[in-house]
Structure 1
Amino acid sequence: MSAISALTDRTAVEDALAEFDRIGRFAFLERYGFGEAKEYFLVTETGNYDSKAVFAAAYERQYGTRLTSADFSGGKQGAGRWLSDLGYTIEGMDSKEERLTFDSFEAALNAFHLAVENINAARDFVSNREFVSFYLPPSRQYIAMVPRGGSRPTAWINKGYVWFKNDDGTQDGIAFPYNKLRDGGRNSRQRRREEAERRICPTPGCGMVLPPNGICDYC
């Protein structure tokens, strides 16, 4: 495992999260060469993000270096801790939960607490496919669904959408009726970022946060 520099640029993380939202989870993971997170997720009001992949994407933005999974660890000793140090909430850092496995979708749905507006859409999706096993990871952030004859999930129900793999290996997503990303969650994060940038002193080389009166105490 190679030594890597500290990640210090929150803008790089925000840009990585925006890309995640724009292209979708599985396309994002494929682009950066990471598998699905099992335990550690970066949590915002717009969703839950695979922390190790987000860290790698942000690191590439800050330093121009493409990381692989072998270059650093996740969780408490790696990506989770570094992102937490930047002020992000990382679910799973103190988790003692275990995976919950179910033989029926309804049992998994009861444990997942999906929004009422999305339940019928989720049931419709599952009814048209042959899944035989369902589980919630320790983070409880999605329902993974394993098809008959398979050993790994091919579809994942999240709070506002479902991602699934087609027979030809391509991936698709379906937004549920109640979906924070579609309803403006990403835009609200972008607005907060732009507002924060407007509070930074415009003097080259300063970078201090402006007080309420808008006059820099140092310039």
Structure 2
Amino acid sequence: MILLTGFEPFGGDEVNSSWLAALRAQDILRAEGLAVESVELPCVFGESAVVLEAAMARLRPDVVVCIGLAGGRERVSLERVAINCDDARIPDNKGQRPIDQEVIDGGPAAYFSSLPIKAALRNLQIAGIKGEVSQSAGTYVCNHVFYALMHSLASRPGVLGGFVHVPYLPEHLPAGSTAPSLSLESMAEGIAVIVRTALQPQGDIKISAGTIH
């Protein structure tokens, strides 16, 4: 079983490309005979992690890919590390704005994704989809979910999981905006590539995907 998650709209947006990408990727993977479920998470600190945990308890997935929107990025971003820090620049959808709070009280400082992110990056490149390894998932609800996911998976050996950021959809950019965007089909196929890579037995590979700053 594969679990995909995306977020509800936030910050005044009418749609969230992460949820649309999750739904479309679900269709692609189901057409290949895979068991896939998608769950929409609230853009709310705390509540989002509770909904995710309930979905994992119900579905007992083998692979979990959580997806979020990173407006301003132009590529499918494979997040490497989740940090134990909530530091919100804007309120969440219930008005919460935690500053310098731990996601999990007393938890480790950070967790690394258990997805084969380098192999997935190579496969995105082969598929002609813009991809990158990102070194920061931020400190908003996306990182909150990513950290909560990896903390939960620490007690679920054998289950792979991680977080992926996607750009804006071109049709949802404000008129005149020059922000980067990516088509829904490219986003969804990118998510499908990541899932297929995670299901392969060989694990990750060593290729350079770091940054200088």
Structure 2 length as normaliser, TM-score?
Answer: 0.26
Q: Which has the larger radius of gyration?
A: 1
Which structure features the higher share of helix residues? Answer: 1
Structure 1 length as normaliser, TM-score?
Answer: 0.26
Return the structure number with greater relative CO, CA threshold 8 A, min gap 6: 2
